[in-house]
Structure 1
Amino acid sequence: MSEEPESNPFASPSGDDEKPPEEVSTIPAPLAMAMLLGFLLMLFQIGEFVLVGTNGGTGPYALLGSAVLTMLITLGLIAHSGPTWAAARFYFLFQGVLSTAFAVMAISLGKEPMAIVSGMVQCGFCLIIFLALGQASVRKYHQLECPQCHEVNAGGDDLLCFQRRCRNCGFRW
């Protein structure tokens, strides 16, 4: 006797058996490292503000402003968007160039060693963060993957990647 199998009301329909699309839901390792170094850079800048103190005009407050901006941009990296990725890359490149110039100026003017070390440490942090944000997994996390050819080399048509264009196939989205 062949009996028909009982229908299970809890079984998924046959159309749901397909493999779901892969989504990038976890933070990639280079991005986690960049965020950790961003927070360490912020703590370094706050520590420098405490060491320098509030004597001598507005110079020390620029360190505090830079620390707050570093914190906000580092927190913004959690968002899955191209503009936050581009803004972070530009900011850390700019801050790295400025801290390098500061260290060179401190060396040429014969300033105290703390100023030279400060500039070089900030430059190192910024360089590592800038390079980590350029990794393919970080670009994919920030939706810089072409939806047509799935290349993770998409660049922005504008400065902050609001309009993206694939360098491989030329598709715009």
Structure 2
Amino acid sequence: MSESTKFHSVQDAFYAGGLIAYPTEAVFGLGCDPDNSDALSRLLALKQRPASKGLILVAADYSQLLPYIDDKRIPQERRFEIFSKWPGPITWLLPKSERVSDLLCGDSDLIAVRIPDFAPVRELCRALTKPIVSTSANVSGMPPAITAADVIQQLGRGVDWLVDVPVGGNASPSKIFNAMTGEQLR
């Protein structure tokens, strides 16, 4: 993990509303505390991304996602497919809980969530004891950051903590499916 002049640890940065850049399976992600609306607003402004598009949450396991999901609305017949794809590079759109900010899910009543099989992301979520927002670490419309140097070049001082570990070997970002219908969106 990178040293920071403002924070002593990734946990300090995260819980103070900082933006964290970290490696995912294919690209660097940019994240923050999903319960901190100031951090969410700052992340969207740094990326120049409209809030209406929504963001993804990554987690170490399903239990970390439960506060953000309306689990009882997931049809029983869809559960096997959802859980059989995790951990892995599949992002599911699931019914959001009432506590979820519109900054996190955009105009949708679904929230995008993933349990990756990439150990550094799961370890980060375990260290933070909760999910982290996951969007590509780049300005919207620019190529996603593949290295820590790319993150610094595009986002510079907007990032409060950089987890300087190589990305995984996946050639493309996660696939996104609507868990309620099975439709692939990306």
| Length-normalised TM-score, structure 2 | 0.24
Whose strand fraction is larger, Structure 1's or Structure 2's?
A: 2
Q: For CA contacts below 8 A with separation 6 or more, give which structure has more relative contact order.
A: 2
* Structure showing greater Rg: 1
